[in-house]
Amino acid sequence: MDQHPALNYDVLLEIGAVATGLTVSALMQTCRRLYHDCAQYLLTGVVRLKSEKTVVDFCRFVEADGYSRCSYVREMECKTYELSPASSQQFLEVIPRLTRLESLRLPAAEDTLASEPSLVVAFASLTSLRHLDLFWVHGHTMDLLANMRSSLKSLTITFLSVWPHEDSIFWDNIKDDVWLNCHPVPFLRQHMSSLQKLHMCIWHTFPQYETILVRGYPQLPAYPQVYPNMRSLEIERCNFALCLPYIRGFPNLMHLSMKTDHAWDLDATDSRDTARTLRNHRAENVRSQMDSRTTWEHLEDFTGTVVDLYMFGLVCPIPRVELTDRLERKSCNLPLLADVLSYAQPVHLKLEGDGTLLSDPASETLALPDLLRTRGGSRMENLDVTFRLDKSDEDLDVGAALEYFAASLEGTPLRRLSLKLWERFSTRPCLHPVPPDLAIPHPASSSALAPRRMAEISLDALDVEAYAQRISDAIPSLDDMSIRIARPRKYGDRAATYTKGGVVTATTRKT
């Protein structure tokens, strides 16, 4: 153990920094210095504790050298429960010594903490944590959050859909007079000066919406807590959120992401009732901002569905908007786009939809070309749009619709355009035909392709290069453009690109 290694000590130390765990373990057996100094490499990255054995092995390893190895632990993932009393006590003695632990992830937080409630106190006593991820949250986990001594920079928290021991979620046990203090703004107050990023899932902020129908909207107080460094907020499955407490609590927010169940609700059979409910909730959010003359002034981007942005009712400009749902006839979400864009007035917009988004003369709903001529498109500099045509678009004159779309771009400050158009209504020949002797005859089969409809005929006749050239000529501000158009009854696509000062380049890809 004490004999001198053949290689220079510094060289061996560099090898340990990039070696596998087995190699590092072997190096630690060569001399006392490497035994001490190489231990840090076995604790680099995330320390994952997924069983009682891994907990015991970890504790034994960091206990060596007088617990000095505890200072090497920066990230930990702990998914353990039902530890024996001896193992729990051993772990509880180690946790307070993890004085440089910055990131903690509890994938089954409630199970882990409920199995040994003393872990709540142990983890809460740490002062070095900056990043905390909690999943399957219930009462013990909320106690941990409420008593933490660390100042978090980021928090990810996902509440239980159903708590297996009580057949309920955490919010089912909250009394009405406690709801106000369970809102994230007052509840996370010990992290006011440090919190920068919050991702929350199923963190409800008032009783179910059915209660609102009976009692009206809750009168949420003007919480005094302000988080000056909060920059990113992700709201997931927190339905019918009221925006004003977040605006007041996170005044410097820059990035907002939402993913609720409202888009699914709008597709349901009672979509009219859902649309009315969303409309009323939007009106409440808009009214609260207007009455208080308060909205976000630094918001840079929004990512989420058009339904969520509509429901949240923001009245502030949003420079970058990325809509993650498909705007289409059957989803009933396209009519919401006009109201959303009228306030957001994005500089950068990314969205996709079916032929209804491109053109729908039979509908009173404004399609994208019409919206680009309104206030909602007045600041547009970057447009990334994908049209996915299906069977319901077979009678659409695609060529005429694309020309109308191009005309709507004239006079806009557009600098970048990405346009993609795919179709799923034409029949393509099989890339790998089945040999006749292996083919299974079918009485209803026919070797003839389906008759060509208007969409297919007009799409096939489109000259993509000429179309791109017309757009580049009509928009002097355009810096670059990319257009990809499907080839009906063929594979691949036709593409055209343009860069300012250059010429339109067209290619045909056969894939």
Give the model confidence (pLDDT) of 4-57 as tens digits: 556 565 666 556 555 556 655 665 666 666 656 667 767 788 999 999 999 999
Q: Are 392 and 359 in contact (CB under 8 A)?
A: no
State yes or no: pLDDT of 429 exceeds 70.
Answer: no
pLDDT for residue 430: 46
Does residue 446 have a pLDDT over 50?
Answer: no
Predicted confidence (pLDDT) at residue 88 exceeds the cutoff of 70: yes
353: confidence class by pLDDT, cuts 50, 70, 90: very high
Mean per-residue pLDDT for 360-379?
81
**Residue 329's pLDDT is what?**
78
CA distances from 259 to 76, 99, 305, 345, 511 (A): 28, 36, 7, 21, 34
Grouping H, G, I as helix, E, B as strand and the rest as coil, residue 252 is coil
Q: Is 380 helix (H, G, I), strand (E, B) or coil?
A: coil
Average pLDDT, the chain: 84
Determine phi and psi for 390, rounding to 5 degrees: -130, -165
**391 with 402: CB under 8 angstroms?**
no
pLDDT band for position 86 (cuts 50, 70, 90): very high
Cα separation, 152 vs 129, whole angstroms: 6
pLDDT at 17: 57
Cβ neighbours of residue 236 closer than 8 Å, sequence gap 6 or more = 158, 199, 200, 201, 202, 258, 259, 260
pLDDT grade for 90, boundaries at 50, 70 and 90: very high
How far is 101 from 141, CA to CA, in rounded Å?
A: 19
Alpha-carbon distances, residue 21 vs 55, 71, 115 (angstroms) = 17, 19, 31
313, two tokens: 């009712």
**106-109: long-range pairs with CB below 8 Å, 24+:** 106/77, 106/78, 106/79, 106/133, 106/134, 106/135, 106/141, 107/77, 107/79, 107/133, 107/135, 107/136, 108/79, 108/81, 108/135, 108/136, 109/134, 109/135, 109/136, 109/137, 109/138, 109/140, 109/141, 109/144
Instruction: Say if residue 361's pLDDT is above 60.
Output: no
Phi, psi of 328 (to 5 degrees): -150, 165
Residues above pLDDT 70, as percent of the chain: 79
Helices of type H across 104-188: 109-115, 118-125, 139-146, 184-187
- Position 163 pLDDT exceeds 70: no
Q: Work out the percent of the chain whose per-residue pLDDT is above 90.
A: 54
Q: What is the pLDDT of residue 488?
A: 79
Closest CA to 236 of 199, 267, 208: 199
Exposure string (b/e) for 255-283, b if CB count within 10 Å is 16 or more?
A: ebbbbbebbebbeeeeeeebbebbeebbe
pLDDT above 80: residue 220: no
Q: Among all chains, which residue has been given the structure tokens 């169940």?
A: 261
d(CA 213, CA 477): 50
Is 252 in contact with 231 (CB distance < 8 Å)?
Answer: yes
Delimit the domains of the chain by residue range: 1-42, 317-433+448-511
Give strand pairing partners of 159: 137
Could you give the CA distance from residue 283 to residue 289 in angstroms, rounded to a whole number? 10
Residue 455: Cβ within 10 Å count: 25
Segment 402-419 shows an average pLDDT of: 93
**Highest-scoring range by mean pLDDT, 186-195, 237-246, 405-414, 437-446:** 186-195
What integer is the mean pLDDT of 72-101? 94
pLDDT grade for 213, boundaries at 50, 70 and 90: low
Residue 158's H or E segment, with its range, is strand 154-159
pLDDT, position 225: 97
Mean pLDDT within 371-388: 94
Q: 10 or 496: whose pLDDT is higher?
A: 496
Given a cut of 50, is residue 381 above it in pLDDT? yes
How many other C-beta atoms can be found within 10 angstroms of the C-beta atom of residue 211?
13
Give the end-to-end CA distance of the chain in Å, rounded to a whole number: 62
Contact 208, 217 (CB under 8 A): no
Q: What is the pLDDT of residue 271?
A: 62
Q: Measured on CA atoms in the order 30, 35, 38, 41, is the torsion positive or negative?
A: positive
pLDDT of residue 487: 79
